Amino acid sequence: MSSAEKTHTVSEEEFMNKRPATPEPQKNSSEASDKESDMKNAHLKGDNVTISYGSEQAVKNVDIRFPTNKITAVIGPSGCGKSTLLRAFNRMNDFIPSASVEGSLIYRDMDLYGKDIDPVEVRLRIGMVFQKPNPFPKTIYKNIAWAPQINGYKGDIDELVESSLRSAALWDEVSDRLHDSALGLSGGQQQRLCIARALAMKPEVLLMDEPCSALDPVSTSHIEDLMLELKKQYTIVIVTHNMQQAARVSDYTAFMDSGVLIEFDDTGTIFTKPSVQRTEDYVSGRFG
């Protein structure tokens, strides 16, 4: 019943054609071609991705594309495998000994799980922000400067710290206490610091794993504004359990359930006229 039970690598066109339901006839052609070109322009993609913890499959045969310079939200009930899928894209599951990833995960011309690919290289290009803010127990400045320094940043580190903090809309709040401990910041500020820390490495993709779930509404709206700003430069994938958030910020939405990708479409479609009943039940709050 689901589109995701497919095998083999598929091209973009095929992928478009194999959408779970027939394309809506009332959709005008310009919208459709927008989506088509977005899909063609998706550099981060997974084909037939299966992720298991031991014998238990957390993600099953998922095909997915994340369009460049767009925000894609992954939604679904808890335990549906959305975080697991996200973490696979910068090889964070490497640290769970029982986890194994099958299928192909590609970023541009890089096979993320290729034999000669160093996970460090993957993570340099694909940054991540976590559910709970996890600043290092160091100063604000060092939190941001650390990774560029070990990566031999050629430019001026002070400038980089400032510009990263500005991009994360945190500069005005912390510019006078850069050398204080990052643990003294509020939860929302800590999370923006973590975003700034990721931005300082100038990744091309930013994966966000429920970045607002530990934050209050004001901080949440700060981060949402920030995401809309950031998508001009970055490809953003956000996992969220908050459907309003997905509707507010994302361009595309993927709905997962029990490890299976049920439906993927532009956010408007998912939230107004989804083609699968389960998606409609979920987004309208009937389960999950």
Partner 1 sequence: MSTSQATPPSEFNSALERRRFTSSLFKNCCAFLSWLCIGILGFLLVHIFSAGWEWVSFDFLKNPPSRMPHKAGLFSAFMGTIWIIVTTACIAIPMGVCSALYLEEYARKNRLNTFIEINIANLAGVPSIVYGILGLTLFVRFLKFGPSVLAGALTLTLLILPVIIIASREAIKAVPPSIRLSAYALGATQFQTVFHHVLPAALPGIMTGVILALSRAIGETAPILMVGAVAYVRKAPSGILDGFTALPIQIYNWAREAKPEFEGLAAGGIIVLLVLLFTMNSIAILIRNKTQKAQS
Partner 2 sequence: MAETATFSLGKSKKRSRWIEEATRSGFFLCALASVLTTFGIVFVLIREAIPFFQVVPLTDFLFGTRWNALIEPRSFGVIPLLMGTMIIVIGSGLIAIPIGLASAIYLSEFASDRTRKIVKPVLEILAGIPTVVYGYFALTGITPLLKLINDDISVFNALSASIVVAVMILPMVASLCDDALKAVPRALREGGFALGSTKTEVSLKVVVPAALSGIVASFVLAFSRAIGETMAVTLAAGATPKLTMNPLESIQTMTAYIVQVATGDIEHGSVSYYSLYAVGGMLFLITLGANLLSHRILKKYREQYE
Establish if 117 lies at the interface with partner 2 (CB under 8 A). Answer: no
Q: Residue 240's binding partner, choosing from partner 1, partner 2, none, with beta-carbon cut-off 5 to 8 A by kind?
A: none
Establish if 97 lies at the interface with partner 2 (CB under 8 A). Answer: yes
Establish if 41 lies at the interface with partner 1 (CB under 8 A). Answer: yes
Establish if 95 lies at the interface with partner 1 (CB under 8 A). Answer: no
Closest CB to partner 1 among 13 and 118? 118
Residue 263 contacts residue 255 (beta carbons within 8 Å): yes
Indicate the DSSP class of residue 70. Answer: S
Closest CB to partner 2 among 128 and 174? 128
Q: How far is CA 214 from CA 27, 132, 258, in A?
A: 38, 6, 24
Residue 253 contacts residue 270 (beta carbons within 8 Å): yes
State the CB neighbour count (10 A cutoff) for residue 60. 20
CA distance 288 to 286: 7
Closest CB to partner 2 among 49 and 194? 194
Establish if 33 lies at the interface with partner 1 (CB under 8 A). Answer: no
CA distance 219 to 92: 26
**144 alpha-carbon distance from chain centroid:** 21
Contact positions vs partner 1 (CB under 8 A): 37, 40-41, 43, 68, 108-110, 118, 120-121, 124-125, 148, 150-155, 201-203
Contact positions vs partner 2 (CB under 8 A): 90, 92, 95, 97, 119-121, 123-125, 127-130, 132, 134-138, 146-147, 150-151, 194, 197-198, 201
